[in-house]
A and B are shown apart, each in its own frame.
Chain A
């Protein structure tokens, strides 16, 4: 990927990615410094990661896409296929955001909590970044202008962090007479943020406080199938929006 190099270079020049790395690093370090119990710190850190990571991935990718419109235009008059152009953009953004995460959060985690919980947080963080970059490309390729692109990216974020959970709660409350453990497990796993949260939480001790449901989940997610299932869902969430984005991009007039 010769072109990704230039995409990366362009991203590094505008310094936002460096600010993002520093932000993650400072937050993670202060979490570990403030909490004496490292698993408590992990819990707070996880909550921040689950909110900030998708938001930054979505907004950054969308803005980057519109900012590099000239670049895309230039490339498309060269002997390069549209698919390759978009994949280079994806690779460039993914490499920079993932390295920001691995430096900003990964480094403190390796120093203070190099255990099972820590590594599962890092794994889901990387996966979530990929998922939301892919979703952002999908949104921005479809939208006609910058405002709509960023708007739909934010909507996606609201949907996955707030609205989706609200809908699930609604279902659980209304159908509380039925045994819904397995159904909710399925519903929750369709949301990448929720599945990431469960995956990490179940590794922690506090999961014991969540009752019978948690026992069921722990059985599932603790097993090898659970890990494979989580990774599989994340991969699907990355590949399908990206594939749709490429398909749309190939038909688009530049």
Chain B
């Protein structure tokens, strides 16, 4: 569904994406992981057409991204930091998006709005919302139009455990509908039960893009975090991020 061909991107002197190529298909849940500043968000924004790559091409469902915005009808995007017009009320925000896409309420997927109980605060202006509530709004927007592709940038960061669980359930539910879901997260335990593929970025380079089964086979680890750590160590690339990740794992229950 999404094919990325030899993408390069420089911000001034900093090369953020180096010759990235990948082929993503329906039914895949891809965990896009990598240290801070490795180019995850830039890659996502390139797919959305918000960042213009210096070279290479991206096609979504066969359409090359070059200005015609209609392909974005198929994409639901949840940004890392949801920033919305200060003066707009939550209800208006949903109304406006509905107007832009011209999809009537009956055909919308409003389950997250209900589960996060956003209707109660529909008349609150966006500027008064806490970070977590903004995340809830972002999530509800991403799923609102039942898109074939979901791009979620740090979806559970900032959400309370209950809401994070609701969102995870929702992602699993959408996964069953044979959608392409692209998730970035630093909390690997969140991704464990969801992902089918792992895409690892470091310093703007795509280190590997594998499905979970072969990753587990290669490393002999069932847990995603450990498997990745193994791979990275095997390739003699150890960094602090991996160590830190494993540290967190020690405190967790093993199941």
Q: Which residues of A contact B (CB under 8 A)?
A: 2-3, 6, 9-10, 13-14, 67-71, 73-82, 84, 250-254
Cβ of B85 under 8 Å from chain A: yes
Given contacts A14-B87, A254-B45, contact A79 B101 (CB under 8 A): yes
Q: Majority SS of interface residues in chain A?
A: helix
CA distance A214 to B79 in the complex (A): 61
Whole-angstrom distance from the CB of B32 to the nearest CB of chain A? 17
Whole-angstrom distance from the CB of B97 to the nearest CB of chain A? 7
Whole-angstrom distance from the CB of B40 to the nearest CB of chain A? 15
Cβ of B222 under 8 Å from chain A: no
CA distance A67 to B85 in the complex (A): 8
| B100 engages A253 (CB within 8 Å) | no
Cβ of B130 under 8 Å from chain A: no
How many pairs of residues, A versus B, come closer than 8 Å at their CB atoms? 75
Chain A residues with CB under 8 A of B68: 81
The 9 A-B residue pairs whose C-beta atoms are closest, nearest first, are: A70-B83, A13-B87, A79-B72, A254-B50, A79-B73, A71-B85, A253-B51, A77-B77, A81-B69
| B72 engages A78 (CB within 8 Å) | yes
Chain B residues with CB under 8 A of A80: 69, 72, 100
| B99 engages A2 (CB within 8 Å) | yes
Chain B residues with CB under 8 A of A84: 69
Chain A residues with CB under 8 A of B72: 77-80
Query: Size band of the B side of the interface?
Result: 20 to 34
| A74 engages B50 (CB within 8 Å) | no
Residue of B nearest to A7 (CB): B85
Chain A residues with CB under 8 A of B246: none
Whole-angstrom distance from the CB of B118 to the nearest CB of chain A? 16
CA distance A250 to B70 in the complex (A): 15
Residue of B nearest to A70 (CB): B83
Question: Could you say which of A9, A70, A74, A253 has the most chain B C-beta atoms within 10 Å of its C-beta?
Answer: A74
| B101 engages A68 (CB within 8 Å) | no
| A254 engages B51 (CB within 8 Å) | yes
Whole-angstrom distance from the CB of A85 to the nearest CB of chain B? 9
Given contacts A6-B96, A254-B45, contact A79 B69 (CB under 8 A): yes
Residue of A nearest to B75 (CB): A77
| A70 engages B49 (CB within 8 Å) | no
A sample of 16 cross-chain residue pairs with beta-carbon separation below 8 angstroms, ordered by A number, consists of: A3-B96, A3-B100, A10-B88, A13-B87, A76-B49, A77-B48, A77-B50, A77-B79, A79-B70, A79-B100, A80-B72, A81-B69, A251-B52, A253-B11, A253-B45, A253-B51
Whole-angstrom distance from the CB of B124 to the nearest CB of chain A? 14
Q: Supply 11 further A-B pairs (C-beta < 8 A) apart from A80-B69, A252-B52, A253-B52.
A: A3-B96, A9-B92, A68-B85, A70-B85, A70-B86, A74-B84, A76-B49, A78-B69, A79-B100, A81-B67, A250-B67
CA distance A130 to B87 in the complex (A): 25
Which among A9, A69, A78, A252 is the interface contact of B101 at CB below 8 angstroms?
A78
Chain A residues with CB under 8 A of B77: 77
CA distance A75 to B84 in the complex (A): 10
CA distance A71 to B85 in the complex (A): 5
Given contacts A77-B79, A78-B72, A251-B52, contact A10 B100 (CB under 8 A): no
> Interface code B43-76, partner A: CB below 8 Å = 1, 0 otherwise?
0010011111000000000000001111111010
Chain A residues with CB under 8 A of B69: 78-82, 84
Residue of B nearest to A83 (CB): B67
Chain A residues with CB under 8 A of B71: 79
CA distance A3 to B100 in the complex (A): 8
Whole-angstrom distance from the CB of A81 to the nearest CB of chain B? 5
Question: Could you say which of B77, B86, B92 has the most chain A C-beta atoms within 10 Å of its C-beta?
Answer: B86
Residue of A nearest to B50 (CB): A254
Whole-angstrom distance from the CB of A43 to the nearest CB of chain B? 39
